[in-house]
Amino acid sequence: MAKPPSRRSSSTEVARFLHRSKSISRFVERQPRLLFAIDATASRQPTWDSACQQQQEMFRATGKVAQLAVQLVYYRGFNELCASQWLSDSSELARLMGSVRCEGGHTQIARLLRHAHGEHRKANIRALVFIGDAIEENPDTLCDLAGQSGILRLPLFLFQEGNDAAVTRTFRTMAKLSGGAYARFDGNSAAALADLLGAVASFASGGTSALENRRGDSAKLLLQQLQNK
């Protein structure tokens, strides 16, 4: 038996849908924006699940204390860099974060920063968070791009997994040049990562005054660096 034809949306219904979509887009555009970027190459696989869980919890917690529009960006594999839409739904951000899997490949931090500069020129980004453990690019190039971030007033918050000394030096310099901050964590301090991310979310939402009102060592660490830039 043939199925009856599906009901077609009327022009009025379509207009209402488009109006709602535009309203949602305008609402997201007005929110403070935070770009959240991660290295999803194979070197992070051993601690990925734990860190991923903390990052998901950060998104959920952020949704309760700050109205932010967040873009999730990650690189992995062969020349793969993926960027989500700007989202204000913390549950959707957590779901997206949980769907990312590591793949072998080289770091693409320079490409990531150029992407962030392009997004920042379209509409102001309050902060860029990056989580990574390795650098396979020219540090001078990365520091130059970090300096450009500083000129654009796009602070970089660089969180290093592990203790590679060369990565530490470059991340610290990049953070300083951009007017941002640096911190390190490891597999035994994944909970500290969640606190660091929450502190940056507070900064993106309310600036340094929001950090001053936030308790915890992570807020103090970031605030000290921001005030000494």
Q: Is the CATH number of domain 32-227 3.40.50.410? A: yes
CA–CA separation, 134 vs 106, rounded Å? 9
Half-sphere exposure of 176 (CA within 13 A, CB side): 7
pLDDT digit string, tens, across residues 76-118: 999 999 999 998 887 787 788 778 888 889 999 999 999 999 9
Least confident of 50-59, 122-131, 179-188, 211-220: 50-59
Q: Which pTM does this prediction carry?
A: 0.81
pLDDT digit string, tens, across residues 153-201: 999 999 998 899 999 999 999 999 999 999 987 766 666 777 788 888 8
| Beta-strand pair 156-161/69-76 | unpaired
For position 142, what pLDDT does the model report? Answer: 98
pLDDT at 26 over 70: no
Sign of CA dihedral 56, 71, 89, 104: negative
Q: Choose between 46 and 75: higher pLDDT.
A: 75
CA–CA separation, 213 vs 192, rounded Å? 18
